[in-house]
């Protein structure tokens, strides 16, 4: 009886020890992108602050972004960048991009700013990112939200 107890205890200890050797789970989740701020410049171009969110449990290097931006109902243009930014697990970072928007999108944003109201926007495209110790992956991204005028900051939507 005593030998059986020792054998069971040894097996239980070995099982617990084996379970601990795997370390934390390394989960890769799809990243997202959203506009944090849009600033209308005097020359008509837009300065876009794009927030890149890493939902993975490991760091990821954001290599390439290609997103079609729609402002209101008007196609504004493509946000194309190679940020080459490392973002830690379950964290975010912001990259700044200059965009030459379409005339229709410029008018839609100018109208919203003049009226002091917000404007809906949509992003659709892909993000290429490299999870730590893995090969690069391309993730499809689709996001819809709205931007509102920033009080005291003319030409800025957040």
Q: What pLDDT digit, counting tens, does each position of 91-140 carry?
A: 999 999 999 999 999 999 999 999 999 999 999 999 999 999 899 999 99
In 21-138, where does DSSP find H-type helix? 103-115
pLDDT in tens, 6-64: 665 555 665 555 555 566 678 899 999 999 999 999 999 999 999 999 999 999 999 99
What's the DSSP call for residue 149? B
Residue-level pLDDT at 88: 97
Is residue 145 in some structural domain?
yes
Is residue 73 in some structural domain?
yes
Is residue 113 in some structural domain?
yes
Please give the share of the chain, as a percent, with pLDDT higher than 90. 81
The range of the structural domain enclosing residue 112 comes to 26-157
3-state class of 16 per DSSP? helix
* Residue 3, burial from CB neighbour count under 10 angstroms (0-12, 13-18, 19+): exposed
C-alpha span between 54 and 119 (Å, rounded): 26
Is residue 17 in some structural domain?
no
pTM over 0.85: no
Cα-only R_g, the chain: 23
Which CATH number characterizes residue 100's domain?
Answer: 2.60.40
Is residue 9 in some structural domain?
no
Indicate the number of domains in the chain: 1
Is residue 4 in some structural domain?
no
Q: Quick count: other Cβ atoms within 10 Å of Cβ 22?
A: 8
What's the DSSP call for residue 103? H
Is residue 97 in some structural domain?
yes
Is residue 94 in some structural domain?
yes
pLDDT in tens, 77-89: 999 999 999 999 9
């Amino acid at each position: 009886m005593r030998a059986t107890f020792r054998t069971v205890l040894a097996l239980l200890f070995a099982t617990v020890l084996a379970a601990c050797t795997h370390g934390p789970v390394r989960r890769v989740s799809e990243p997202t992108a959203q506009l944090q701020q849009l600033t209308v410049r005097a020359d008509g171009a837009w300065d876009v602050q794009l927030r890149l969110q890493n939902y993975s449990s490991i760091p990821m290097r954001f290599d390439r972004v290609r997103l079609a931006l729609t402002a209101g109902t008007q196609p504004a243009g493509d946000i194309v960048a190679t940020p080459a930014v490392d973002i830690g697990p379950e964290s975010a970072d912001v990259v700044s991009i200059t965009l030459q928007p379409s005339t229709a999108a410029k008018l839609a944003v100018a109208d919203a700013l003049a009226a002091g109201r917000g404007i809906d926007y949509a992003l659709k495209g892909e993000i290429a990112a490299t999870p730590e110790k893995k090969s690069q992956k391309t993730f499809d991204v689709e996001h819809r939200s709205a931007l509102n005028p920033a009080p005291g900051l003319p030409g800025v939507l957040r």
